[in-house]
A = this chain, B = another copy of it.
Amino acid sequence: MSKILNSKGPKGFLFSTAEAAIKKPGRKDVALIISEVEADIAGAFTTNTVKAAPVKLCMKKIKSGKGRVIVVNSGNANACTGMQGTKNANDIISHISKQLGIKSSLIYPSSTGVIGTQLPMERIIPALPALAHNASGSSFEDVARAIMTTDTFPKMITKKIKIGNTMGTISGICKGAGMIAPNMATMLCFILTDIAVKQKTLNKTLKSSVNKSFNRITIDGDMSTNDTVLMMANGMLGNEPLTEKSEAFQSFQKALDELTYGLATLVVKDGEGATKLIEVHVKGTRNEADAAKAALSIANSSLVKTAIYGNDANWGRIMAALGYSGIAFREEKTDIYFNNIKVVKGGLANNKDREATETLKTKIIKITVDLHSGSSSSKVLTCDLTEEYIRINAEYRT
């Protein structure tokens, strides 16, 4: 798949995948990511009040700042599964711990799939020994494949950064597709680097990147119970651990920003049923919060998304979404563009319907809204809303 940048990953990580037939047989659906040495770890998790069992466990474990293993499954979210769900996640961790001889506290669980059904432990547990003993038998991209649900392609990006005289590597994979909304997508994302980074710095850098990427995408406005971003830095590059004062820090943050924004873009491109990528850019606001609020309001509008799908330059729906976004703005100062076609000038039709209809036939649509009331701005990524989205989600479990 051309979307995958398949280059050599960071040093000191091993991968393994196996089939446990969690939802149905015929594909790898459990995976392990193992760092050869104890790593610093940081994470970001769903803000949904209803959190899956593995999310709750990760949020506790990550307080130590240390980790070595991520064990992940698709096909079942282990959400709304009560005490049994927590016990099942812990049982998986115990088995992996024994097989690998690695402390349970360093093992992080993660799940994605249907909500409300207990994990099929009778099929998962027997699959674990082979999974554990096959470490390095798979690639990071194989893991990206194993965590897919309604995704149509695996998502992986690798970045190289110069640290002193050596080259460090950051690789990330993720899955998305449905139930994508700020904060964060229904989404699992695992990022690995061999660059040594102080845990505190890792935390802050990751949070900053996530805010500018995964928290700025929306597919259907639904926020999942399972969203998880985990990042391990194992220091195998041998550099002096990065802090915010390090010379290489800026390029590290930049690379991580690009990596997460790139993955977020892939998630939206692969939005359920999507035929077009839509970037909503609101500028000229008094502050960034207003711009983000307005951009999200437009990006979440079913009417805007269906209009884009239908190549209909119906900018009135954008004005309406701005109007109910809750921000203060002046209608008569508003300019709106589809790509570079200015369809609204000072709040009024600019009589560019024909040109606008033409430009909407492209696969990447940039909606720019200039409110001319300040110098702040914000971008949100989304996709169009199609009959295929309905079909996928009306039939997801069957």
Q: Which residues of A contact B (CB under 8 A)?
A: 47-51, 77, 79-82, 114-118, 178-179, 181, 220-225, 300-303, 306-307, 309-310, 312, 314-317, 319-324, 328-329, 331-332, 344, 346-349, 385-387, 389-391, 393-398
Would B323 and A225 count as touching, CB distance under 8 A?
yes
Q: Determine how many copies of this chain the complex contains.
A: 2
Known A220-B302, A225-B323, A302-B222; contact A348-B312, beta-carbon cutoff 8 A: no
Known A220-B303, A390-B385; contact A319-B50, beta-carbon cutoff 8 A: yes
22 contacts between A and B (CB under 8 A): A47-B324, A48-B320, A50-B319, A50-B322, A50-B331, A77-B316, A79-B319, A80-B331, A80-B344, A81-B348, A82-B347, A114-B316, A116-B319, A117-B349, A222-B303, A222-B320, A225-B323, A302-B393, A307-B393, A307-B394, A307-B396, A390-B390
Q: Which 9 A-B pairs have the closest CB atoms?
A: A115-B316, A310-B394, A50-B323, A306-B393, A387-B387, A48-B323, A223-B324, A116-B316, A49-B323
The residues of B that contact A395 with a CB separation of less than 8 Å are 310, 312
| A373 → B minimal CB distance (Å) | 13
Q: Is the interface of A mostly helix, strand, loop or mixed?
A: loop
| A137 → B minimal CB distance (Å) | 33
The residues of B that contact A324 with a CB separation of less than 8 Å are 47-49, 181, 222-223
Would A225 and B310 count as touching, CB distance under 8 A?
no
The residues of B that contact A312 with a CB separation of less than 8 Å are 394-398
| A176 → B minimal CB distance (Å) | 14
The residues of B that contact A314 with a CB separation of less than 8 Å are 114-115, 396-397
Known A49-B328, A50-B323, A316-B114; contact A309-B394, beta-carbon cutoff 8 A: yes
Would A49 and B322 count as touching, CB distance under 8 A?
yes
The residues of B that contact A394 with a CB separation of less than 8 Å are 306-307, 309-310, 312
Look across to chain B and name the residue whose beta carbon is closest to the beta carbon of A321. B222
Look across to chain B and name the residue whose beta carbon is closest to the beta carbon of A387. B387
Known A306-B390, A307-B394, A329-B49; contact A319-B225, beta-carbon cutoff 8 A: yes
The residues of B that contact A389 with a CB separation of less than 8 Å are 302, 306, 390
- Report the Cα distance A50→B294, complex, angstroms: 13
Look across to chain B and name the residue whose beta carbon is closest to the beta carbon of A316. B115
Look across to chain B and name the residue whose beta carbon is closest to the beta carbon of A113. B316
The residues of B that contact A82 with a CB separation of less than 8 Å are 332, 346-348
- Report the Cα distance A348→B51, complex, angstroms: 13
The residues of B that contact A47 with a CB separation of less than 8 Å are 324
Would B221 and A320 count as touching, CB distance under 8 A?
no
Look across to chain B and name the residue whose beta carbon is closest to the beta carbon of A222. B303
Would A390 and B309 count as touching, CB distance under 8 A?
yes
- Report the Cα distance A301→B186, complex, angstroms: 14
Would A80 and B316 count as touching, CB distance under 8 A?
yes
Look across to chain B and name the residue whose beta carbon is closest to the beta carbon of A306. B393
Look across to chain B and name the residue whose beta carbon is closest to the beta carbon of A116. B316
Q: Which of B332, B387, B398 contacts A390 (CB 8 A)?
A: B387
Would A390 and B396 count as touching, CB distance under 8 A?
no
- Report the Cα distance A390→B390, complex, angstroms: 9
The residues of B that contact A347 with a CB separation of less than 8 Å are 80, 82
